[in-house]
Amino acid sequence: MKTLLIGIAGGTGSGKSTFTDRIKDAFPDDVAVLYLDNYYKAHDELVFEERKKLNYDHPDAFDTELIASDLKKLKEGKSVISPTYDYANHNRAKETLIIEPKPVVLTEGILTLYDEELRNLFDIKIFVDADADERILRRVLRDTKERGRDIENIIDQYLTTVKPMHYRYVEPTRMYADIVLNSGMNDVAFDLVKQKIKSLL
């Protein structure tokens, strides 16, 4: 089985997950997804208050070596055991996910296109862009509703790490993308990617 690897990057709240879900829904039996957030490094050695202060938007926060290894295995037709992440606890969770190889494997996350080794694995590289105000508002809604975070913590994290790291590490990876979208709901771009996947399948 030939496996098509697609990397989807972009800032927090840009629409990466929305676009990823649309691709997944368009090819329900042919798509597997690896979420970069699940590959945050474990920090069992730190107490909760210390973990809250870590910079989760820096490239060093991710176990890039593990996700690259898992992508290579999926490309070889082997299943992998993906870690998962507990956002409320700021640490890797005990639960794991078994990801089966599929014709299309999506990798989604803010720094998906940052590491050269990881970047070179992708057949298609996508960057989802969005206005900074829209991104922070979406992040506040998501983190309070889905991740059990409080507003003060979200704002503090955004100003101290998320925003500066976006301009330092995330935004520059836009240059590596084959396709740049201005929204996860861009229908023209979605149709183009969908047709490209169909042709490669």
Instruction: Report the alpha-carbon distance of residue 122 to residue 72 in Å, rounded.
Output: 10
Which residues does the chain have with pLDDT short of 70? 132-133
Whole-number pLDDT of residue 79: 97
Q: Considering its fold, how many domains does the chain have in total?
A: 1
Q: What is the pTM of this model?
A: 0.89
Q: Where are the alpha helices (DSSP H) in the chain?
A: 16-26, 48-52, 64-75, 116-119, 132-145, 151-157, 163-165, 187-200
CATH code, domain with 48: 3.40.50.300
Structural domain harbouring 14? 4-200
Whole-number pLDDT of residue 132: 66
- For the stretch 29-59, pLDDT in tens is 999 999 999 999 999 999 999 998 889 999 9
